[in-house]
């Protein structure tokens, strides 16, 4: 299934994308694409529906983030061997964890706003893992039992704030609009191997990232288990699992960063595409 949320920011309603690409209104079935809806019981109920029996979503509404704002928006740094190489960083011995602020969470087509004072706003296409059941101290061989599905995430990053202003990475990762998520949550039954998905990102039509989840250092099961030993994960939480090479910071001989007026387009095989216009805060 492909589950999503449509409508104005803060007033989204749940929907489903049917096999013909038609949006179907789920607001008469579930209150939202939240922890209850994406629990094993909730997903089983939604899977039993005949999508053609649901009302069509009329018009062309805004598509919001594919789940309700999560309690935990967890990100993993330097998790692709080829990306670590392009940034001259050593391969991590354990996953690097940082958090995005709730205000970073935004829709897949919402504007990305460059923060005031920023000179190094960058892009990162990433596989998002959506948690379906509470996970705490989960062994790796049971980790996938806690996954509801997957989505596309753009881990927008301000590199000066992240790396040159002291402290942790969070200040360069949690700015408003820095976490476009969606367009839909694709349930895990549709993605049999999350470690073999093509992923890409373009800026103004120029291909910048062209990678695959197969070059992840730590795979999905490892990450869910590992994070759950430090942070209790709740239904609807997201783990953004790192990015392949091609970020602006890694371009030679000179890095390239985003500017107002540009367009970012990104996608992951089987999970859909995002498009963002770049604006100024």
Q: Which residues of the chain have pLDDT under 50?
A: none
Domain with CATH 3.90.850.10 in the chain: 73-280
CATH tag for 73-280 (out of 3.20.20.80, 3.50.50.60, 3.40.50.2300, 3.90.850.10): 3.90.850.10
pLDDT at position 90 = 86
DSSP E strand boundaries for the chain = 2-6, 13-17, 23-25, 73-77, 96-99, 105-106, 112-114, 121-122, 125-131, 147-154, 157-158, 179-180, 185-187, 198-203, 206-212, 238-240, 263-268, 272-280
What per-residue confidence (pLDDT) applies to 149?
Answer: 98
What integer pLDDT is reported at residue 73 of this predicted model? 98
pLDDT at 260: 98
Report field, pTM of the whole predicted structure over 0.85 = yes
Question: Using CA atoms, how far apart are residues 173 and 217, in angstroms rounded to an integer?
Answer: 21
Write down the pLDDT at residue 43.
Answer: 98
Contact between residue 27 and residue 14 where contact means Cβ atoms under 8 Å apart: yes
The pLDDT of residue 87: 77
What pLDDT, on the 0 to 100 scale, is given for residue 194? 98
pLDDT at residue 83 in the model = 81
At 81 the pLDDT is: 87
């Amino acid at each position: 299934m492909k589950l999503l949320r449509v409508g104005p920011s803060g007033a989204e309603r749940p929907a489903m994308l049917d096999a013909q690409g038609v949006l179907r209104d789920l607001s008469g079935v579930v209150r939202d694409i939240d922890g209850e809806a994406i629990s094993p019981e909730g997903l089983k109920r939604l899977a039993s529906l005949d999508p053609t029996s649901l009302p069509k979503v009329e018009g062309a509404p805004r598509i919001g983030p594919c789940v309700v704002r999560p309690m935990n928006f967890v990100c993993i740094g330097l998790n692709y061997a080829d990306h670590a190489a392009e940034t001259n960083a050593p391969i991590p011995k354990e996953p690097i964890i940082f958090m995005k602020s709730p205000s970073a969470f935004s829709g897949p087509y919402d504007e990305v706003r460059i923060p005031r004072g920023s000179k190094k706003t960058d892009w990162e296409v990433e596989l998002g893992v959506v948690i379906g059941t509470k996970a705490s101290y989960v062994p790796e061989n049971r980790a996938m039992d806690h996954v509801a599905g997957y989505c596309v995430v753009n881990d927008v990053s301000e590199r000066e704030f992240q790396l040159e202003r002291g402290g942790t990475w969070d200040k360069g990762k949690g700015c408003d609009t820095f976490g476009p998520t969606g367009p839909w949550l694709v349930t895990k039954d549709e993605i049999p191997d999350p470690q073999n998905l093509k992923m890409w990102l373009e800026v103004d039509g120029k291909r910048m990232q062209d990678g695959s989840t197969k070059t992840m250092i730590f795979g999905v099961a490892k990450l869910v288990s590992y994070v759950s030993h430090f942070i209790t994960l709740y239904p609807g939480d997201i783990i953004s699992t790192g990015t392949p090479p091609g970020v602006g910071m890694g371009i030679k001989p000179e890095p390239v960063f985003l500017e107002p007026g540009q367009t970012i387009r990104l996608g992951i095989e089987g999970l859909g595409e995002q498009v963002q216009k770049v604006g100024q805060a």
